[in-house]
Structure 1
Amino acid sequence: MELLGFSLAALMGLSLGLLGGGGSILTVPILVYVLGFGAKESIAMGLAVVGVTSLVGAASHWRKGNVRFRAALLFALVAMAGTYGGARLSALLSGATQLLLFAAVMLVSAFFMFRNGRRDAASAPSPHKAPVPVMVLAALGVGGLTGLVGVGGGFLIVPALVLLVGLPMKQAVGTSLLVIALNSLVGFAGYLGHVEVPWGALGVFTAIAVAGILTGTWASHFVSQATLKTAFSGLLVVMGVFILVKNREALMSVGEVTPTSVGAAVTGTPRSSGGP
């Protein structure tokens, strides 16, 4: 299972390189259900992996002129405040609850990715700038989601940079990787101190993911983005439903949880969970 899990790290890197997002959507389920780490450990590790991997990808896109540093820093600075707050707030939630939220995010992102994959390039909205308060709220929302459930937010950041900041699509993908990197690494810092991090496994997983994103960035010139997004959305639906099924007991008990039952949900989710 370890060999499979570390092999899938390359798939995570590929998705970031090809699509500018989707890395953490794959990373957390791999860490939880293939490598057997706990939910909170996996969310923290996922943020570190996606942060480092995205930074490498951003450097590759920067060499091609597809990173707008001013837009990235302005968006990231606001988002990072939300990310750190979300990471701290996550201490109040059980691991099972975080995974349920994560599954919901997967299904929503699958819908938008499928819709964007089918949209004809000619009908895509032309870039324009939204009012500053709207951009600030969007950045805070993306950041809070990143910290709370461990998603880099690329599937939200790319359209936000196009529709709200006014960047062309290619620059939005490259710029999003820098935003994801800053956002994710701040989120990881928010978990330090209340989550034990297995640094050895984290290092190996990250190194393989970095190789994947370099390959994905190179391959992005030869693969249809529309086809990739449609296929990836199907994968997200399957994985989102899988996570909901694995945590169905926690899902059924939402609204009637107590501190004791929350603790039980956490222990039943990760490594010790052998049931369907």
Structure 2
Amino acid sequence: MDIAGYSASIFIGISLGLIGGGGSILTVPVLVYLFSMDAVLATAYSLFIVGATSVVGSLSYFKKGLVNIRTAIVFGIPSIAAIFLTREYLLPAIPEEIYNHGNVTVTKGMLLMLLFAVLMIFTAYSMLKKGKRVNQDVTQENQLKYSLLVVQGVFIGIVTGLIGAGGGFLIIPALVNLLKLPMKTAVGTSLVIISINSLSGFLFSLSHIAVQWNFLVSIALIAALGVLIGSYLSTKIASKKLKPAFGWFVLVMGMYIIVKETLLH
């Protein structure tokens, strides 16, 4: 399964490079099901992998001036605070065995994977729904809706802290619809936010885990290679054609995790 895991890791980066998100949706399932890793440890490893690959992915957007630094800071500060509180207090407070009655046992790892599956289904829905086209030429309004942005940042921080997902599928719509950022700027800014959030979450986790650095760095490097491949392919293939296919894949994966963690556990 290790070979399958290393092979699958490259798709974490390819999805980020192609459509600006989705990498974190693949990371935890790869670590848990292909590398047989504990779910809680997998969320911490995912934070490093997603953060590192997002740094690589954001570099080209920085060079093209497609990153709104002000927005990244306003969004990032409440997110980092929420991640710290979640990793330091909320996650450790969840008992290893949450429910046990008869033949039904709900563990901490099972709960995290089920939460992750729900996130995957919402991600799939956001990719498959046919909403109104966003005008990508709309400039950012002078008056930012800071209160809503802070709320979004806190929510993303809790999601990131709990299940190791960057939350790009939630960040990009917020930047486009709330702040009226052009789509490419929203993707670049989202990658910066994901980088900051994920790497901060990983740092907050170091006191609770023992890291196998050789393994972790190798996965991150493979995923980073995937980002470069995805970025190249994005110039050849329209992302609007890839999102529905990726959405269906994520939906099937989410349903599989629910079945595996409940009926087949």
**TM-score (norm. length: structure 1):** 0.85
Moved >4 Å (runs of 4+)? 122-130
The Cα offsets for residues 116-166 of structure 1, whole Å up to 9 and x where unpaired, read as: xx4464678956655211111011111111101110011011111112222
CA contact (8 A) 1:127 1:162 kept: no
2:47 is aligned with 1:33: no
Structure 1 partner of 2:66: 66
The Cα offsets for residues 10-50 of structure 1, whole Å up to 9 and x where unpaired, read as: 10001111111111100000000011111011110000000
Q: What secondary structure is seen at the aligned counterpart in 2 of 1:175?
A: helix
2:201 is aligned with 1:187: yes
Displacement of 1:217: 1.5
The Cα offsets for residues 239-268 of structure 1, whole Å up to 9 and x where unpaired, read as: 11111112106xxxxxxxxxxxxxxxxxxx
Change (3 A) 1:125 1:60: closer
AA aligned opposite 1:217: S
AA aligned opposite 2:93: L
Structure 1 partner of 2:98: none
Aligned-pair identity (%):
41
**TM-score (norm. length: structure 2):** 0.88
Query: Alignment length, in residue pairs?
Result: 249
CA contact (8 A) 2:5 2:30 kept: yes
Structure 2 partner of 1:99: 113
Moved more, 208-217 or 194-203: 194-203
AA aligned opposite 2:91: S
CA contact (8 A) 2:128 2:244 kept: yes
Displacement of 1:190: 2.1
AA aligned opposite 1:103: A
Aligned alpha-carbon RMSD (Å): 1.9
Equivalent-residue separation in structure 2 for 1:50 and 1:59 (angstroms): 14
Question: Aligned runs of 1:1-276 on 2, under 5 Å?
Answer: 1-88=1-88, 89-93=90-94, 94-115=108-129, 118-119=130-131, 121=133, 131-248=145-262
| Structure 2 unaligned regions, length at least 5 | 95-107
Q: What secondary structure is seen at the aligned counterpart in 2 of 1:151?
A: coil
CA contact (8 A) 2:10 2:222 kept: yes
